[in-house]
Amino acid sequence: TYKEPFSSKKDRKIAISLFLCLDMASSSNVLSKEQFLCSICLDVFTEPVSIQCGHNFCMACIRKYWDSNDLCQCPMCTNTFDKRPVLFVNAFISEMATHSPDQCPAKPGEVSCDVCTETKLKAMKSCLVCLTSYCETHLEPHQRVTALRRHKLINPVENLEDRICKTHERLLELFCRNDQMCVCVLCIKTDHETHHTAKVQQQIQEKLQKVQEIKHSVELRKRNSEGEISDSAQVFTVLMRSIEKNQAELIEVIEKKQEAAERQAEGLIKELEQETTELKRRSTELEQLSHTEDDLNLLQSFPSLCSPPLTKDSDLCVGTVRRAVSQLEETVMSEMKRLFDDELKSIQQYAVDVILDPDTASPWLILSKNGKEVRTGEKKHKLPDNPKRFDSAVNVLGKKGFSSGRFYYEVTVTGKTEWNLGVARESINRKGTVTLSPDNGRWAVILRDGSKYIACAPTRVHLYLREKPQKVGVFVDYEEGQVSFYDVEARSHIYSFTGYTFTEKLYPYFSPLLNDGGKNSTPLIISPVNHTD
């Protein structure tokens, strides 16, 4: 009868393992590894056969050996046979080889046998009494020995000692949701009696299901992103084709107008040259007339002096040329407007809802309740000190920043004599004097003195606009490093910053500037984008 003379679980586990090893060593049905190896290929038997001398080989090995030799003999004892023996598979050895320990090594992720000393085999069961996992061979005593048959066997589990309740020595197969810990069936009858418990396997399934949901969400997001990229690529491909087509049409129109203007100019030049030649001839005749007294004879000799020269009205010529140039300019401007109109329609699809961030607003600024308007007040307000807030410059940023993709918004500037608009990176200096430049993290276009439009590039660019913008559109392509400004009402392009590399979030940037005695008191208004067809 098996007794447990050891106090600790570790000693008990060692004793059980030794017991099993001794029991199996004495058992006649446990064979050594070498007894299952073919002496020719030195591997576990495949279709093992026995020949007359009693030695065993793989069928393919012994046939190949005999085919390569003149004599039919045993490779082990060199016994010679007059006639090649008929080979039959040895069913007993084949069955034993199939159950050889080397045939079922534990794979990664599988529980391995704790008793195997060389190749660790896949465990078939774990014993809650022995705290040991066994392969099919080493499990045999638990199915045969009376004392061991009373042990509690479960499906194989790794780190079995950590899965046993320290108090009741039972499997931690339940999970207490109240205390967020694993418990055994006896624990829920004592300390966790009123708690909400669930099977650990249920917890595992719930976690696995959550993992699957997250993976599905990631995969769905990936597919959506790929779809957005594909759609964007298609949109920009269509846009580029439209631009190329419009550009070709514009060039063709300009060339035709240019050819017509050149032909008209050539005709005018030819006529003027003819008139000049006629005038020179008359001048020569008059000079000759001045050297003679016989006017009548001279006039008869030079009849061209009797009629006035046929000259075109010079004002008419100049007016014709100006009209031709004006028509050419109108055609060019019409084509350019159509081109930029198509471009603006394409980028308006990236419109975002911009809300002003009161935590960034200067104490001088007054924001509307809906966060869509900003103007400069008459006095400085007392606001909480915030590292995000502009303390001196009358600036404010949008609440949401963008670190990828494209975005677009529109701002009504009607009635303003001065303003700043654009985008700014997250790390800009918000205290003290603010310098508008991409080098300082700001990409902006500004209005000064009611009519001076300036792009705040590293070297400032003065912009000469045909019309005064009433609504300004701002478009950002993060990956392309581009910030563009548009006159929304005139459907025309104002200016673009290009070739930059953005490395942090970009925020919409606004400054209504000072009131200037009421001349500039009108607010900047973030307007809804009108998606035209």
Q: Strand order of the sheet with strand 406-412? A: 365-367, 373-376, 524-527, 406-412, 471-477, 482-487, 492-497
Question: Between 280 and 533, whose confidence is greater?
Answer: 280
Mean pLDDT of 515-527: 93
Work out the percent of the chain whose per-residue pLDDT is above 90: 29
Residue 435 DSSP one-character state: -
pLDDT tens-digit series, residues 6-60: 445 555 555 555 555 444 444 444 455 567 788 888 777 778 888 888 888 898 8
- CATH number at 30-98: 3.30.40.10
Encoded tokens for 73: 């003999």
Neighbours of 447 (CB within 10 A): 22
Same fold, 30-98 and 350-527: no
Contact between 133 and 113 under an 8 Å Cβ cutoff? The reply is: yes
- Please name the residue that has the structure tokens 């990956």: 479
Contact between 89 and 59 under an 8 Å Cβ cutoff? The reply is: yes
Question: Between 367 and 211, whose confidence is greater?
Answer: 367
Instruction: State the Cα–Cα distance between residues 437 and 267, nearest whole angstrom.
Output: 53
Q: Which CATH class is domain 350-527?
A: mainly beta
- The per-residue pLDDT for 3 is 42
**Is pLDDT at 344 greater than 60 in this prediction?**
yes
Phi, psi of 182 (to 5 degrees): -85, 140
What 3-state DSSP class applies to 233? helix
Residue 475, beta-bridge partner list = 408, 484
pLDDT tens-digit series, residues 463-503: 999 899 999 999 999 999 999 999 999 888 999 999 999 99
Residue 165 DSSP one-character state: -
- Residue spans of the domains in the chain: they are 30-98, 203-324, 350-527
For residue 410, give the nearest of 330, 337, 353 by alpha carbon: 353
Contact between 412 and 511 under an 8 Å Cβ cutoff? The reply is: no
CA distances from 78 to 56, 69, 74, 128, 168 (A): 13, 12, 5, 53, 64
How many Å is the Cα radius of gyration of the chain?
49
For residue 238, give the nearest of 350, 333, 347 by alpha carbon: 347
What 3-state DSSP class applies to 127? strand
